[in-house]
Amino acid sequence: MTRRVPVAGGDICASYREDRAGGPVFVKELDGAPAGFFAAEARGLDRLRVDGGPPVPAVVEVTDRSLALEWVDTGPPRSAAAARFGAALAHLHAAPEDRFGGPGFAATVPLDARSSDDWATFFARARLLPLVRSARDDGSLSAAGAAAVEAVCDRLGELVPAEPPARLHGDLWSGNLLWGADGRVWLVDAAAAHAGHRETDLALLALFGAPHLDRLEAAYAEVAPLAEGWRERQGIHQLHPLLLHAVLFGGGYGAAVERQAAHYL
């Protein structure tokens, strides 16, 4: 009989360490998962596997309600690991992409699969505006907040410097960084992986905080410097996760969206 032990790390899913004949694996399960949910995560993990990029657990098995991954022993967050990760993230972002966009999921919310040659068009039409409509319709975002985000969408091309498409994790908050006992930082939960603006991943790390973020950012900049003013633009990229939280959880997230958008008008 396969031995299973509940572990942390599944976020919205139940998660386990499962001891199999070939060794332990990490298994996450979600009853009633949206169609294609775990397949999207497996595709995202494979998409992030690039030479010189952060390590990504191997996909062992995918079903409609579960995903099994290579087991990674964890350790404490360390400054040196953060610096190595920052450099590796810059290499990931440099992986070639043809167009902005890509299908996937943010939590259990399907991401608009439309792509574009222009980042501002993609980010407005495929990321921000669909969530604005949902949040306004369910009452978690005021009419004034919706209008503020729509006004930012109209100005994205002038607010954010144009860059070629970068290969992104897409949901890079600190909970999706796995600090390995091997001294490396692994990427997990990649269902939102897509081609976007590289400032987006860094803005997501800053939104909820990450261990040794200053070392991570400095190491990233040594490999691939960001355009001047990137810190001041982080709030633009953070509108997407804040809108997602407004749709999923309500509360004060709608007001946070309104304040954030108004800052750029």
Say how far apart CA 157 and CA 251 lie, in whole Å.
31
In whole angstroms, give the CA distance from residue 221 to residue 227. Answer: 10
Return the H-helix or E-strand segment holding 43. helix 37-47
What is the SS3 assignment for 108? coil
Between strands 66-70 and 185-187, the pairing is unpaired
Query: What pLDDT digit, counting tens, does each position of 67-94 carry?
Result: 999 999 999 999 999 999 999 999 999 9
CATH topology of domain 3-70: Phosphorylase Kinase; domain 1 (3.30.200)
Supply the DSSP symbol for 197: -
Sort 57 into a burial class: Cβ within 10 Å, 0-12 / 13-18 / 19+. Answer: buried
Question: From residue 93, how far is each of 56, 148, 227, 237 by CA, in Å?
Answer: 15, 30, 14, 16
**pLDDT for 203-241, tens place per residue?**
999 999 999 999 999 999 999 999 999 999 999 999 999
- Active-site annotation holder among 171, 189, 201, 214: 171
Q: What whole-number distance in Å separates Cα of residue 126 and Cα of residue 146?
A: 16
- In angstroms, the CA 65 to CA 83 distance is 35
Domain boundaries, the chain: 3-70, 79-262
79-262: CATH class: alpha beta
Model confidence, pTM? 0.96
The yes-or-no answer on residue 171 being catalytic is yes
